[in-house]
Amino acid sequence: MFSIPYGIPSTRQSVIMSGSDKRLARMTQLWPTIDFEDFFNRKVKTQGYYNPGFDTWQMLQCTSDGWRKETESVANNRMLLSIHHPYVVPWKSLGRDQSSNFLDPNQAARSTSLQWLTDSVSRAKEQNAQFVLTHLTHGSGKPTPEQAENLASRSVESIARISESFNMPIHIEYLGYHPSFHLPEKFISALEDYPNLGLCLDTGHLNRWAQIHNMDPYQAASKLSPLIESVHLWNTSSNLEYRHYGHVPVHNSIDGVNGYISVERILQTIAPAKHPITIIFEPSIHSKVEEAFITEGMLWIKHLWTNLQDHAND
């Protein structure tokens, strides 16, 4: 059984910051303009919601009527914007689960997802986004590894074409849930020939993949690092916790213990990359999540990442 580190009162005491610490946190530019209540409400509605990063916003699942307003409401001149596909939901009365079926053996399903991605990229272009990110998900069919690789390479080629035609980089998130297309090597061979495509390493999904397949997530991060252009940060200790509480915010107090992945070790592994990496925080928000817990975790990462970058430039 798991416990929620940021919800149970005894642990909570240790992560709650004093008023002045909290003000200090707000002053760091990391969490300066975020209205926690708005953040909370949008996450709960999963409508026009956003994730903060270092000088970056990630916007996703806006409404088809309000997407411009929803994006502009969090826009900030100092911040870059990235778009997590699907940008608008529903789209042509389709739900989110039909937006990224790029590994589905069904041709019509793949084609719909490609059209939808084109729509997201075109709106992202209008908003001057830095890049668009997508998952490669699959339908109910269980293709052989060869079929899956074939579907992946065809879909990635189409995604690269969309990226080129809009001159908009597209990042593919590393997800390890496909029955046969989940190894780092498969993602590398699918993506490595396309300079306009990048990989997004998501620490929570990476941990779940490592748990499911009994693999080493740090080795995987090291293999994938030449392709990594963005990182999604959250944590989870188990499938049960993931299903109940979604994305646990990253925090020093849980890092690398009791089934949680060490986000610190992952960042140390990928930091020597020669290219810039966009860091985005993806905490789930529910009644047990403290704003202070999230802020502390972000400041810890900021400190860590800054040190790693300074070191990399030596």
Q: How far is the CB of 172 from Zn ion (least distance, A)?
A: 11
Q: What is the dihedral of CA 186, 152, 134, 30, to 10 degrees?
A: 10
DSSP 121-183: HHHHHHTT-SEEEE-----S----HHHHHHHHHHHHHHHHHHHHHHT--EEEE----SSSS-S
By beta-carbon proximity to Zn ion, the closer residue of 15 and 133 is 133
Among 110, 138, 178, 232, binds Zn ion (CB under 5 A): 232
Q: How far is the CB of 307 from Zn ion (least distance, A)?
A: 24
Taken in order 60, 66, 68, 73, the sign of the CA dihedral is negative
By beta-carbon proximity to Zn ion, the closer residue of 208 and 232 is 232
Contact between residue 17 and residue 25 where contact means Cβ atoms under 8 Å apart: yes
Contact between residue 36 and residue 59 where contact means Cβ atoms under 8 Å apart: no
Interface with Zn ion by CB under 5 A: which range of 5-13, 232-240, 265-273, 290-298?
Answer: 232-240
In angstroms, the CA 50 to CA 42 distance is 8
Place of tokens 């909290």: 22
DSSP 53: B
DSSP 56: E
By beta-carbon proximity to Zn ion, the closer residue of 130 and 143 is 130
Q: Is 229 in the site for Zn ion (CB under 5 A)?
A: no
Contact between residue 200 and residue 172 where contact means Cβ atoms under 8 Å apart: yes
Interface with Zn ion by CB under 5 A: which range of 56-64, 145-153, 160-168, 224-232?
Answer: 224-232
By beta-carbon proximity to Zn ion, the closer residue of 43 and 232 is 232
Q: How far is the CB of 51 from Zn ion (least distance, A)?
A: 9
By beta-carbon proximity to Zn ion, the closer residue of 143 and 297 is 297
Q: How far is the CB of 235 from Zn ion (least distance, A)?
A: 12
By beta-carbon proximity to Zn ion, the closer residue of 178 and 232 is 232
- Could you tell me how many residues of this chain bind Zn ion (CB under 5 A)? 2
Interface with Zn ion by CB under 5 A: which range of 48-56, 188-196, 213-221, 229-237?
Answer: 229-237
**Where do the DSSP E strands lie in the chain?**
49-52, 56-62, 80-88, 131-134, 170-173, 197-202, 228-233, 278-281
Q: How far is the CB of 100 from Zn ion (least distance, A)?
A: 12
Interface with Zn ion by CB under 5 A: which range of 33-41, 118-126, 153-161, 228-236?
Answer: 228-236
Q: Which of residues 148-207 bind Zn ion (CB under 5 A)?
A: 202
Taken in order 130, 235, 239, 149, the sign of the CA dihedral is positive
Site for Zn ion, rule CB under 5 A = 202, 232
